[in-house]
Structures are given as structure tokens and as C-alpha cells.
């Protein structure tokens, strides 16, 4: 009995922490591998990650530098999220061919649509280069000199692996805030074509209303294909290119899952800061989240009103709105979760424990860290607050001002300066409505004045508004938009060189903004003290295996299929069904986020989803499901795999109650929301009649 109890306690301990973590699959301990296999993984380490041959790792792609995806066919089909493919879908949409609203199906290879600025990258291998990078650092160097030395060494390492013919490149990335460095080697493919997109009323069902929420019914997927030269090497878009035959691709399971089933995700989580100090968390709440939410509230209201007035404007701003609103809501949710879960108090208790350990064990390098962090964050608060307010108000405000700032910063290094500038103008202004932009421009200035700490933190042009325009922002805006070539479509073509932008009144505003940002930037030792705090935690708990924070490198997260209880009176099951989607539509006739195309509604009501996509125990087709896997931004589009390494879903969101997850993972509440692959396949085959896509897959 005692032996059984001990075994049970060990298993409970394992499961309690199994869901947390974004692990480097080529750098996991034997103990962690044992946990994976005890939970249900049937693959060997080599089947999961093998830099010298086929493995599941070889089917995972970095999608566009901002999402993840999974290769699912021997002809280079890639599944990712709808919101990851949203830019590409929008780029091909017009009022005549509204692929956002109605969806898109390429009936033949020749119908698949190229996307000149979209790429995917395969992860080839990861190498520890910590000794080589850190050996250049001397104890007497200041932070600026350290950064220069590290950059110098990493550029040499990058050059050593660069192969421009095969499009192989490397990226050296810091881990544990610079205590370790790893080189990730990738192969990039630049010919990626759109194959399939569901109607937005499926692919984005729920919109802002349901974003970061459960229950969900969003069929958040899109399909692309990777093309290569006839010899299989990466190539720019060409009609001569052929579908890529990848080294590995994922098989797709229609068998589903049960509560407690093993599930793992493989993808590119963007950024977490789980080892951040309590002072850093407090700073994030008040300099980043508060401002991001309040400033974007103003901008999004203007865009929302304009998008509802015309289909052309809706298509033009669809991707920008979705991108901005995503982290607008995230900022609100993260602050709420941090407060509800009392994360700062929990961090302070841990920091007190670390300080006591350091003092008791004579770890002088860690004594006084907390006092330094508290003082540094307090001293730098005004500057960080102002930089965030400047960036949100002006760099992320008016698109025309943002374009001007970008051109100023880039200084157009291209040899063909005129051609490059006109190309940049053509791309940027394709999705700019001058009248809408003007409203945003004025609103951002007014809001900045309200939220700035004091006049000392105003860019110079705001002082000009007071002195020359009697504080009338609208009159100043009228002058700028009447006299700038950058705000007049008829005059854009007359911009023949970068000097024309220098002479533009919008350029003066851009200079004013960037100047103020630089004035607010003061190098501090905050990052170094945060790094030392993390080192102290790992030293204090030497027997604990700590995963590194996410940094948009390939990671594995593992857990189980599981619902959750956000309150004593609420219990969520781990799946949703078609009737729940129908109910949202029928019961919320005035909510734009729940609107359905008539054809989609008819299909859902008929319930002809395909027998092989119906769960045998539920007797219905599941839509979305929950696991306790770790997830953050960048994980979108990550494959969700069962213990045999078969694709069962695509990760696309986290849940509202655990929005603190980037800073503190909560084992009880944190969940990963995925779209069930059977829902995806049914939409492709039964709703859209795209049987040729299904025929490419290996279904099990």
C-alpha cells in the first residue's frame, strides 16, 4: 500500500508540472523524456528530433517569421491558422473577389496564389555556442560594450553557417537572459502559395468577442503550399517552380482524443518572461499593458466605425485591425489575471526566499539584486512609460506617420533608391485610406497630450501646435494633410527620391517622435540584474530542470487533454460541438462577430459533416478542444500531436482566466485552445468540396 501511495504521489507530482514549459527538443534531459513517455508519448527521441534524418521536427515550419505551421503532405501542403494567413488572404481580396468573407479554394495547382513577402523556414539543428559567445565578455565591461562584443561574435557565427545557394542561415539567440546562447540553423523557402481559406465567419468566428475566451467554435486554419525549384532547392517565385517534396511530413489522425490523452505542440512560441522579477511585472502592467489598451481603444474605435461603412475599407483594414485588437484585449486580460491570481505577491515571496538563501550561503553575487531592481525600475519608470506612449500613439497610430518613420530609419540602403521607395509606397498605401488615417492622426495627438506625464515628455511638434495653432489639433492636422505629399495620392508618384520625404512636413513630425524616443532611452543594468535573479533561482534549486523562456525558437510543449473550472460554479468540458456555434449565431443577431454566411449556416444546420469526422463517443463532430499545454504568441498554427506523433489539431489561443501566462504559468487554469483537425477536414471536404486537398493527406 505504501509503495502504491508513493507511486501515485510521484505521478501526481509529474503531472502537476508536465503541462508547463516550452522545451528545447534537442536539449531535454533523460528525466524529462521519461515523463513524456509515462504520459503517453510513443515516439523515440530520434523520431521526434533528428538533425541528420527524417523526424517530426522536420515537418514543423516557422511561418512568415510570426507564426508556426506543419507540413501535412508529401507535396508540401502546410496547415497553419487562419489568422496567420490573414495578411495573405487579405492581399488577394477585393470587393469582387472577397476571399476574406467567402473563403478561397484553389481547384488546381495553377490556381494557387503566390505571396511575394511570405516565407517558411525549416529548423535543421540547434548548437550550444555559449562558451564561444560568453568568452568575449569581461567583468569590467559596461552593458553597451558587452552588447557590441556579443554582436561581433554572433555575426561571425552567422557567417560560418550561411549558404546563400541553399538558403541556409543561422540565428544565435540568448537563453536565460544571456546566461546561455544557442545557434539555430534554418533553411528558408520563399515561394509559398495560398491553397485554401475558410470563410471568415468560420475562420474568425467569434472575433474580438471570443478572442482569448472559452468556449470557442473558431475554425482557425488556412492552407498553403511550399514551392521549390525543379531540383528541390529553395527559389524565388517562378512559374517553373514545383511543389516541395519535404524530408518529413505529419500524418493526420481522425481518431480524436479522450480526457487525459497525451498531447504535445511543436512550434515557435514568441516571447515569455516567466523569471521576471516582481518589479518587472509591476512595470509591465503600468508602462506596457495599461498604455497599449488605452491608446488602442481610441484607434480601434475609429477603424471599426470606418470598416462598417464600406467593404473596400473593411478589406483594407482587416489585417491591421485584427493585429491591433489582438494585443489590445490581451493587455487588458493579462493585467486582470495578474491581479486576480496575485502574481506579484507570489513573486515577492519567492524573491524573499532567494534573498535569504543567498545570504545564508554566502552567495555575494546575488545579495542586493532586489534592491537594485526596485530602484532601477523606479528611476526609469517615466522614460519607459513615455517610450511606450510614443510608440503606441505615433509609430502604431497613423499608418502614414508610421511609414515615414520606417523610411527614415531604414534610409533606403537599396542601390535603386527611387525604385525601392516607390515599391515601398505602393505596398504601404494599398491598405491606407487617407481620410481614416487623418482621423487616427488627430486622435492620437489629442490622446497623447492627455496621457503624457508632463510637457517635458512632449515631442516638439506638440509644442508647435500650442504656439502656432492655439492648441487646435484639428487645424494642425488639416495643415499637415493638405500640404504633405505623403497624404495626397495624386502626389505620391512625384516622390522621386528620399530627399522628397526629407522636405515633407510629415517627416518633421517623424523626426520629432524619434528624437523624443531617443531622449527617453537610457541604458540601464536592469537586464543584467534580472539575469542574475534567474541564475540565483536555478542555483538555489539545482535539482529542478528549468526550461528557458520562449524566444521564437523551436519548442515542444506537452500535456493532456483536459477541461477546467474557472470558478466553483463553472466547469468547462474539453470540447465544443456544432450546436454551440449555431446557438451563438441565432441568439446574437446583432453581434457582427457571430454572423454567418447563409451557406455556412445551412451546412451547419444540415449536420452532414462526414462520418469519419464524427467522434464515435460524442456522436458528433468536435469543433475545438482544450489541453493543458503551454502556449503563447507565435505558437499560433503549431501542430497538436497525439502520442504517436499524428496531427490532431492546430493551436490557436489561450484562455482568459490565465492571461498572466507569459509571466506566470498557472497549472490549475492555463489551457491551450486548438481547432480539432476533424473540423478542419470537414470544412475542406464537406463544406468547400476541396477533395483534392484531402487526397494529399495521410489519414489514419
What are the DSSP calls for 419-470, one per residue?
A: HHHHHHHHHHHTT--HHHHHHHHHHHHHHHHHHSSSGGGS-HHHHHHHHHHT
Query: Rounded distance, CA 68 to CA 614, Å?
Result: 27
Does a structural domain hold residue 183? yes
648 sits in which H/E element:
strand 647-654
In-domain check, residue 661: no
Asked if residue 292 and residue 239 are part of one domain, the reply reads no
Give the integer Cα–Cα distance in Å for 62 and 121: 5
- 3-state percent helix, strand, coil for the chain, nearest multiple of 5: 50, 15, 35
| Torsion 151-152-155-157 (CA) sign | negative
Compute CA distances 688 → 112, 194, 307, 358, whole Å: 15, 15, 27, 63
Question: What does pTM read for this prediction?
Answer: 0.93
Query: Exposed (0-12), middle (13-18) or buried (19+): which is 688, by Cβ within 10 Å?
Result: buried
- Hey, which residues are catalytic here? 83, 220, 636
Distance, CA of 452 to CA of 520 (rounded, Å): 13
Contact call for residues 380 and 282 (beta carbons, < 8 A)? no
Within this chain, do residues 300 and 169 fall inside the same structural domain, yes or no? no
Give the pairing of strands 672-676 and 222-228: unpaired
Q: Buried (b) or exposed (e) across 313-332, using 16+ Cβ within 10 A? A: bbbbbbbbbbebbbbbbbbb
Q: How far apart are CA 339 and CA 346, in angstroms?
A: 11
pLDDT of residue 12: 36
For residue 114, which phi and psi values (nearest 5 degrees)?
-75, 155
In this prediction, the residues of the chain whose per-residue pLDDT falls under 50 are 1-18, 412, 415
Are 201 and 330 part of one and the same domain?
no
Could you tell me if 610 and 682 are in contact, meaning their C-beta atoms sit under 8 angstroms apart?
A: yes
For residues 128 and 173, the answer to whether their CB atoms sit within 8 Å is: no
Specify burial of residue 416 (Cβ count, 10 A radius: 0-12, 13-18, 19+). exposed
- The answer to whether residues 238 and 294 belong to one domain is no
- Which domain-ending residue is among 235, 252, 269? 252
Claim to verify: residue 486 and residue 373 sit in the same structural domain: yes
428 and 285 inside one domain: yes
Give dist(CA 559, CA 90) in Å, integer: 35
- 337: buried, middle or exposed (CB in 10 Å: 19+, 13-18, 0-12)? buried
Identify whether residues 192 and 149 lie together within a single domain: yes
- Asked if the structure places residue 623 within a domain, the reply is no
- How open is the CA angle 447-448-450, to the nearest 5 degrees? 65
Q: How many CA atoms lie within 13 A of 263 on its CB side?
A: 35
Same domain, 247 and 371: no
In a domain, 505, yes or no: yes
Together in a domain, 216 and 348: no
Q: Tell me, what DSSP letter sits at residue 395?
A: I
Domain range holding 125?
56-252
Single out the residue in 482, 500, 520 at which a domain terminates.
520
The dihedrals phi and psi of 335, each to the nearest 5 degrees, come to -60, -40
DSSP H helices in 135-186 = 143-161
Q: What pLDDT is recorded for position 422?
A: 80
Domain total of the chain: 2
Inside any domain, residue 18: no
Going by C-beta distance under 8 Å and a sequence separation of 6 or more, which residues neighbour residue 214? Answer: 572, 626, 655, 656, 671, 673
Q: d(Cα 128, Cα 145) in Å, to the nearest integer?
A: 23
In a domain, 578, yes or no: no
Distance CA 24, CA 612 (A): 35
Residues 181 and 286 in one domain: no
b or e along 26-61 (b: 16 or more beta carbons within 10 Å of the residue's beta carbon)? bebeeebeebbeebbbebebebbbbeeeebbbbbbb
481 and 332 share one domain: yes
Q: Distance between the two ends of the chain, CA-based, in angstroms?
A: 41
Domain-located, residue 286: yes
176 inside domain: yes
Q: Alpha-carbon distance 648 to 625, whole Å?
A: 10
Do residues 296 and 220 both lie within one domain? no
Amino acid at each position: 500500500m505504501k509503495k502504491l501511495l508513493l507511486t501515485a504521489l510521484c505521478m501526481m507530482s509529474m503531472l502537476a508540472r508536465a503541462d508547463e514549459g516550452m522545451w528545447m527538443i534537442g536539449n531535454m534531459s533523460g528525466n524529462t523524456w521519461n515523463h513524456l513517455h509515462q504520459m503517453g508519448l510513443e515516439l523515440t527521441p530520434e523520431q521526434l528530433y533528428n538533425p541528420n534524418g527524417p523526424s517530426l521536427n522536420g515537418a514543423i515550419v516557422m511561418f512568415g517569421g510570426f507564426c508556426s505551421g506543419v507540413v501535412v503532405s508529401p507535396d508540401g501542403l502546410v496547415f497553419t491558422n487562419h489568422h496567420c494567413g490573414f495578411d495573405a488572404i487579405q492581399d488577394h481580396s477585393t470587393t469582387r473577389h472577397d476571399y476574406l468573407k467567402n473563403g478561397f479554394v484553389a481547384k488546381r495547382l495553377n490556381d494557387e496564389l503566390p505571396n511575394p513577402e511570405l516565407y517558411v523556414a525549416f529548423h535543421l539543428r540547434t548548437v550550444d555556442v555559449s562558451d564561444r559567445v560568453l568568452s568575449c565578455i569581461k567583468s569590467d565591461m559596461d552593458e553597451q560594450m558587452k552588447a557590441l562584443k556579443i554582436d561581433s561574435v554572433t555575426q561571425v557565427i552567422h557567417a560560418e553557417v550561411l549558404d546563400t545557394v541553399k538558403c541556409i542561415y543561422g540565428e544565435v539567440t540568448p537563453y536565460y537572459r544571456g546566461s546561455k546562447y544557442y545557434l539555430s540553423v534554418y533553411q528558408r523557402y520563399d515561394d509559398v502559395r495560398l491553397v485554401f481559406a475558410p470563410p471568415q465567419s468560420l475562420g474568425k468566428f467569434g472575433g474580438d468577442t471570443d478572442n482569448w475566451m472559452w468556449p470557442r467554435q473558431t475554425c482557425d486554419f488556412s492552407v498553403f503550399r511550399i514551392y521549390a525549384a525543379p531540383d528541390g532547392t529553395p527559389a524565388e517565385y517562378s512559374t517553373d517552380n514545383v511543389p516541395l517534396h519535404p524530408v518529413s511530413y505529419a500524418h493526420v489522425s481522425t481518431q480524436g482524443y479522450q480526457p487525459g490523452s497525451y498531447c504535445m505542440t511543436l512550434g515557435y512560441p514568441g516571447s515569455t518572461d516567466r523569471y521576471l522579477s516582481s518589479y518587472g511585472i509591476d512595470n509591465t502592467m503600468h508602462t506596457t499593458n495599461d498604455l497599449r489598451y488605452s491608446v488602442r481603444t481610441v484607434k480601434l474605435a475609429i477603424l471599426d466605425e470606418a470598416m462598417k461603412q464600406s467593404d473596400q475599407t473593411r478589406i483594407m483594414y482587416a489585417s491591421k485591425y485584427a493585429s491591433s485588437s489582438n494585443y489590445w484585449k490581451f493587455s487588458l486580460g493579462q493585467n486582470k489575471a495578474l491581479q486576480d491570481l496575485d502574481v506579484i505577491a507570489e513573486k515577492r515571496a519567492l524573491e524573499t526566499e532567494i534573498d535569504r538563501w543567498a545570504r545564508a550561503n554566502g552567495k555575494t553575487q546575488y545579495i542586493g539584486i532586489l534592491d537594485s531592481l526596485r530602484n532601477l525600475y523606479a528611476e526609469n519608470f517615466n522614460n519607459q512609460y513615455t517610450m511606450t506612449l510614443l510608440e503606441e500613439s505615433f509609430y502604431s497610430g497613423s499608418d502614414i506617420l508610421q511609414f515615414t518613420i520606417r523610411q527614415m530609419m531604414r534610409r533606403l540602403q537599396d542601390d535603386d533608391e527611387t525604385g525601392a521607395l516607390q515599391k515601398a509606397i505602393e505596398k504601404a498605401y494599398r491598405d491606407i485610406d487617407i481620410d481614416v488615417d487623418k482621423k487616427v492622426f488627430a486622435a492620437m495627438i489629442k490622446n497623447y497630450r492627455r496621457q503624457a506625464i508632463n510637457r517635458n515628455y512632449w515631442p516638439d511638434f506638440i509644442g508647435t501646435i500650442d504656439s502656432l495653432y492655439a492648441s487646435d489639433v484639428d487645424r494642425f492636422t488639416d495643415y499637415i494633410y493638405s500640404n504633405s505629399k505623403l497624404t495626397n495620392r495624386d502626389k505620391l508618384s512625384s516622390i522621386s527620391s528620399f530627399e522628397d520625404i526629407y522636405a515633407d512636413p510629415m517627416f518633421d513630425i517623424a523626426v520629432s517622435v524619434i528624437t523624443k524616443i531617443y531622449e527617453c532611452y537610457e541604458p540601464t543594468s536592469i537586464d543584467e540584474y534580472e539575469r542574475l535573479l534567474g541564475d540565483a533561482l536555478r542555483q538555489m534549486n539545482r535539482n529542478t530542470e528549468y526550461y528557458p523562456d520562449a524566444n521564437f525558437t523551436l519548442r515542444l510543449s506537452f500535456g493532456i487533454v483536459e477541461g477546467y473550472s474557472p470558478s466553483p460554479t463553472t466547469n468547462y468540458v474539453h470540447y465544443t460541438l456544432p450546436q454551440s456555434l449555431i446557438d451563438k449565431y441565432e441568439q446574437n443577431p446583432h453581434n457582427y462577430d457571430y454572423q454567418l454566411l447563409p451557406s455556412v449556416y445551412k451546412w451547419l444546420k444540415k449536420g452532414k459533416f462526414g462520418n469519419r469526422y464524427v467522434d464515435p463517443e460524442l456522436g458528433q463532430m468536435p469543433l475545438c478542444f482544450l489541453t493543458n499545454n503551454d502556449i503563447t504568441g507565435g505558437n499560433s498554427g503549431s501542430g497538436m500531436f497525439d502520442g504517436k506523433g499524428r496531427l490532431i489539431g492546430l493551436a490557436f489561443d489561450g484562455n482568459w482566466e490565465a492571461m498572466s501566462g507569459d509571466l506566470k504559468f498557472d497549472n490549475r487554469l492555463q489551457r491551450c485552445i486548438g481547432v480539432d483537425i476533424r473540423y478542419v477536414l470537414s470544412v475542406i471536404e464537406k463544406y468547400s468540396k476541396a477533395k483534392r486537398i484531402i487526397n494529399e493527406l495521410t489519414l489514419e
